[in-house]
């Protein structure tokens, strides 16, 4: 496939155009006349105008979510060129979120201020995975994306950024004096033949108001541009799937007196996916017959998430604080992965079981089950105070306290189909067992920041500091590898995370900023204590009680200009990550090596460092009253060093990307939007372990339109990949071997139609 032309020059011109065209004398009042200021809370843990917040912070609004027919969380970020979504094309779908090359559990995800569960992948075998479940897009009011380390406000896990998902409130429906609002929405998604229905009811009385929302999505596998339906690693069409997702969200607000508000929230999610896994194994030049004995493979994956929260907000008319907010929450997420394999003409062994690779004369069934569960119990307290006088300040103080309990089990049995004999001994292990013991992580965080206004408010300095302490404590777990001889260990530590932000108003609507921020991530239960042994192929993974927390330091400088009608932003950043935790293969002579007959040992280790730097441009221009043009461009460069002096490319870095949007609204109740998503060819890749596939560049056009048929009825229609361009996303294809015989399996959907009809009753 030919590479698309490099979009870099076009990006620079379009994204910088608003900065050139913007009149420096444009008044603040003119900006207000265009639209109300956009406000966010995730970046500072208090309400702030997005234009004056230092750093690159962007939002996805409710209007954009509805206009673009978001099918899943990945669709929320299509216009953010510095964000990508890892996706497993074989079975599990949308996975971790990547911001500027940092991903998965190094990005903190919040749902109304509550942390999500951890992302966990079982590797390329596709036997198990636990994703970080997020709200149904129909329930989301706004998404706020904060780039760079955020530990000075949020503690561990915010080492690469913070994304806050804010869900809808009763007041979002009870507008214009309404005391009741109800409605329904029917959606169709062509990329996976999904049909979704959602409904809502909001009401309020003298002191109470509430909202209930429900949704149900039935879908199939996500389409691609392959056409080979064979069984095995040459297959290019998707694995057949049936997926059902049901969600409920309820909120109740109570105002007992002026300035006091209590909010009770409930969220329930249930997802079931059944997959006929016909793309078996991964092609490798050294083992082209990988999993050759597997003649049938199915998977059944269940996910449930339950969350309940209680918030209290006090905004007194006169007190030593202006606003006090407290939150208590409980959340539990469970993942249940079940696998079935029929292995034909396979070799048998009483200890190893039934082989997936070695030929023999027997047939067997293999049944595997993997369970993963996390519970979060926590609370937070935030106080805000504006201080007037000759040195105006805005003070934010807070505390977070949480306990995360984690448990994991796996079970395997295999059946000799000739004799009917069933065994729980497989690959030298006796099942059931756990790779790491049940345990909990306690975390305490105390933080404060002070926004100081100087030079008549034109200069704002915001120093901040957070203290975090963590304690990991394993419990006695008889299922934790009783035959392996390892003892689980606890771990504790603490960390100070400072920051300094500065913003200067050059002239009205022009703000220059700079920031220095630090981040950290405590080692997880799994990284410290995981044990995995494969006695057939003689490799395994061992614990590491000596892991240190990851740390990061981030610098960013930029310029923000303009308002809703004309504006833009330019930013440059440099982030360093020390003691990066990765699973590595131990070298000969390492004292942690497994004894013979094991030939390979893996262990989580602290790498020397990771360095990422880059720059981004964003711009928008309302060229006419009915036409708005937008552009965004992102470039990042990264390397890691696991061996002193040897620096290699970081494969989680995306190629240069650009998004262009034209929004046309000739009349108030009708609109058309054209979006272009483009990327350069991926050329900088670490091939030290294997030669990887390098996807070419692409440019994809999406077209959307909407019609407000009546005041209470709205139709949305979108055509994705309008010109049916075959293309690969690096986030989905980056682990594929260059010699793979079915690369089209990892392509994105071709031309597809989505539509929705929304009615307010």
Q: Mean pLDDT over residues 387-391, rounded? A: 91
Give bridge partners of residue 708 from the DSSP assignment.
714
Give bridge partners of residue 758 from the DSSP assignment.
185, 714
CA atoms 52, 58, 62, 63: torsion sign:
positive
pLDDT at position 749 is: 97
Give Cα separations from 128 to 15, 295, 298, 370, 395 (angstroms). 42, 20, 12, 6, 45
d(CA 589, CA 601): 11
Q: Mean pLDDT over residues 675-690, rounded? A: 93
pLDDT at position 476 is: 85
Question: How deeply is 644 buried, as exposed, middle or buried, from its count of CB atoms within 10 A (0-12, 13-18, 19+)?
Answer: exposed
Share of the chain above pLDDT 90, in %: 70
What is the Cα 261 distance to its own chain's centre? 31
Q: Do residues 367 and 412 make contact, with C-beta atoms less than 8 angstroms apart? A: yes
pLDDT(230) > 50: yes
Its pTM stands at: 0.91
Domains of the chain: 8-760 (2.40.170.20)
Going by their DSSP bridges, the two strands 550-562 and 510-521 should be labelled as: antiparallel
653-662 residue pLDDT tens: 999 999 999 9
Characterize 72-95 residue by residue with b for buried, 16 or more Cβ atoms within 10 angstroms of its Cβ, and e for exposed.
bbbbbbbbbbbbbbbbbbbbbbbb
180-213 residue pLDDT tens: 999 999 999 999 999 999 999 999 999 999 999 9
Which one has a higher pLDDT value, 527 or 20?
527
Q: DSSP letters along 568-633, please?
A: EEEEEEEEEEES-EEEEEPPTT-TTPPPTT--EEEEEEE-SEEEEEEEEEEEEEEEETTEEEEEEE
Lowest average pLDDT, out of 244-248, 267-271, 633-637, 737-741, goes to 737-741
Give bridge partners of residue 724 from the DSSP assignment.
none
Rg (CA), the chain: 27
pLDDT at position 36 is: 43
- pLDDT band at residue 20 using 50, 70 and 90 as cut-offs: very low
pLDDT at position 185 is: 98
d(CA 593, CA 586): 7
297-310 residue pLDDT tens: 999 999 999 999 99
- Conformational region of residue 281, where left means phi above 0, alpha means psi within -120 to 50, and beta covers everything else: left
pLDDT at position 700 is: 98
pLDDT at position 488 is: 86
User: For residue 147, what are its two tokens?
Assistant: 């780039």
Scan for tokens 């996916």, then name that residue. 273
pLDDT at position 326 is: 97
Question: How deeply is 164 buried, as exposed, middle or buried, from its count of CB atoms within 10 A (0-12, 13-18, 19+)?
Answer: buried
Q: Do residues 326 and 379 make contact, with C-beta atoms less than 8 angstroms apart? A: yes
d(CA 556, CA 269): 38
The three-class DSSP label of residue 502 is strand
Q: DSSP letters along 697-761, please?
A: PEEEEEEEEEEEEETTEEEEEEEESTT------HHHHTT-BTT-S-GGGGPPP-SEEEEEEEEE-
Residue count (the chain):
761
CA atoms 111, 116, 121, 122: torsion sign:
negative
Give Cα separations from 542 to 434, 463, 588, 605 (angstroms). 13, 42, 15, 11
d(CA 48, CA 58): 12
pLDDT at position 286 is: 53
pLDDT(714) > 60: yes
If we measure between CA atoms, which residue out of 620, 656, 702, 716 comes closest to residue 51?
A: 620
pLDDT(506) > 60: yes
d(CA 593, CA 541): 9
Which one has a higher pLDDT value, 213 or 48?
213
Scan for tokens 């082209």, then name that residue. 288
86-107 residue pLDDT tens: 888 999 988 889 999 999 999 9
509-559 residue pLDDT tens: 899 999 999 998 999 888 999 888 887 778 888 999 899 999 999 999 999
User: For residue 156, what are its two tokens?
Assistant: 């561990």
Lowest average pLDDT, out of 327-341, 483-497, 716-730, goes to 483-497
pLDDT at position 29 is: 33
If we measure between CA atoms, which residue out of 694, 695, 701 comes closest to residue 678?
A: 701
d(CA 11, CA 631): 7
pLDDT at position 3 is: 40
From first CA to last CA, the distance across the chain in angstroms is: 50
Which one has a higher pLDDT value, 288 or 130?
130
Give Cα separations from 200 to 117, 142, 249 (angstroms). 27, 18, 9
pLDDT(244) > 60: yes
pLDDT at position 288 is: 55
pLDDT at position 482 is: 58
pLDDT at position 152 is: 86
């Amino acid at each position: 496939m030919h590479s698309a032309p490099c979009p870099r020059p076009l990006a620079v011109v379009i994204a910088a155009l608003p900065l050139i065209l913007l009149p420096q004398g444009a008044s603040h009042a003119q900006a207000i006349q265009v639209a109300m200021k956009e406000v966010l809370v995730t970046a500072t843990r208090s309400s702030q105008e997005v234009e004056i917040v230092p750093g690159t912070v962007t939002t996805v609004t409710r209007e954009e979510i509805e206009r673009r027919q978001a099918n899943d969380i990945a669709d929320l970020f299509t216009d953010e060129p510095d964000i990508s979504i890892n996706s497993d094309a074989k079975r599990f779908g949308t996975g971790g979120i990547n911001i500027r090359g940092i991903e998965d559990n190094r990005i903190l995800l919040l749902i109304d201020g509550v942390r999500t569960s951890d992302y966990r992948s079982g590797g390329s075998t596709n036997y198990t995975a636990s994703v970080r479940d997020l709200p149904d897009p129909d329930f989301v009011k706004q998404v706020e994306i904060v780039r760079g380390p955020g530990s000075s406000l949020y503690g561990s896990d915010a080492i690469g950024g913070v994304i806050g998902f804010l869900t809808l409130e009763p007041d979002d429906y009870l507008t214009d004096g309404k005391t009741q609002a109800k409605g329904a929405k029917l959606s169709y998604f062509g990329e996976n033949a999904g049909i979704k229905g959602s409904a809502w009811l909001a009401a309020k009385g003298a002191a109470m108001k509430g909202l209930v929302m429900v949704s149900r999505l039935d879908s199939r596998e996500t389409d691609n541009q392959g056409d080979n339906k064979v069984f095995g690693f040459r297959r290019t069409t998707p694995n057949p799937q049936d997926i059902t997702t049901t969600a409920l969200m309820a909120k109740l607000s109570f105002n007992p007196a002026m300035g006091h508000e209590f909010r009770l929230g409930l969220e329930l999610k249930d997802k079931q996916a059944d997959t006929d896994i016909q793309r078996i194994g991964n092609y490798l030049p050294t083992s082209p017959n990988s999993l050759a004995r597997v003649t049938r493979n199915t998977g059944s994956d269940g996910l449930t998430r339950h969350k309940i929260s209680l918030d209290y907000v006090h905004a007194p008319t006169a007190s030593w604080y202006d606003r006090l907010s407290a939150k208590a929450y409980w959340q539990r997420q469970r993942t249940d992965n079940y696998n079935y394999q029929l292995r034909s003409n396979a070799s048998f062994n009483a200890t190893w079981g039934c082989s997936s690779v070695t030929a023999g004369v027997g047939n067997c069934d293999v049944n595997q089950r993997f369970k993963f569960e996390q519970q979060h119990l926590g609370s937070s307290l935030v106080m805000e105070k504006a201080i007037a006088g000759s040195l105006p300040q805005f003070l934010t103080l807070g505390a977070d306290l949480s306990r995360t309990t984690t448990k994991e089990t796996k079970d395997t049995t295999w059946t000799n189909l000739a004799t009917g004999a069933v065994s729980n001994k497989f690959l030298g292990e006796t099942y059931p067992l756990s790779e790491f013991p049940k345990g909990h992580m306690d975390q305490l965080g105390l933080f404060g920041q002070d926004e100081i206004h100087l030079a008549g408010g034109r200069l704002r300095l915001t120093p901040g500091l957070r203290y975090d302490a963590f304690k990991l404590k394993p419990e006695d777990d008889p299922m934790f590898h009783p035959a392996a001889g390892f003892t689980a260990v606890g771990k504790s530590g603490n960390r100070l995370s400072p920051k300094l932000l500065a913003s200067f108003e050059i002239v009205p609507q022009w703000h220059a900023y700079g920031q220095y921020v630090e981040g950290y991530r405590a080692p997880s239960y799994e990284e410290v204590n995981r044990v995995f042994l494969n006695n057939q192929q003689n490799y395994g993974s061992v614990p590491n009680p000596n892991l240190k927390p990851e740390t990061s330091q981030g610098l960013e400088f930029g310029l923000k200009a303009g308002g809703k009608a004309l504006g833009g932003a330019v930013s440059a950043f440099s982030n360093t990550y020390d003691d990066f935790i990765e699973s590595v293969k131990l070298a000969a002579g390492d004292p942690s090596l497994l004894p013979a007959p094991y030939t390979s040992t893996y262990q989580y280790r602290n790498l020397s460092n990771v360095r990422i730097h880059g720059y981004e441009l964003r711009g928008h221009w309302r060229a006419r009253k009915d036409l708005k043009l937008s552009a965004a461009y992102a470039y990042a460069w990264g390397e890691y060093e696991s061996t002193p002096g040897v620096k290699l490319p970081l494969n989680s870095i995306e190629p240069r990307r650009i998004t262009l949007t034209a929004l046309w609204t000739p009349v108030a109740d009708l609109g058309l939007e054209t979006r272009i998503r483009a990327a350069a060819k991926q050329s900088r890749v670490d091939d030290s372990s294997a030669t990887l596939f390098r996807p070419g560049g692409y440019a994809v056009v999406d077209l959307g339109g909407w019609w407000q048929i009546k005041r209470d009825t709205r139709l949305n229609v979108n055509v994705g990949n309008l010109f049916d361009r075959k293309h690969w996303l690096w986030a989905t294809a980056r682990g594929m071997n260059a010699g793979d015989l079915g690369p089209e399996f990892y392509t994105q959907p071709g031309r597809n139609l989505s539509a929705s009809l929304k009615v307010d009753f």
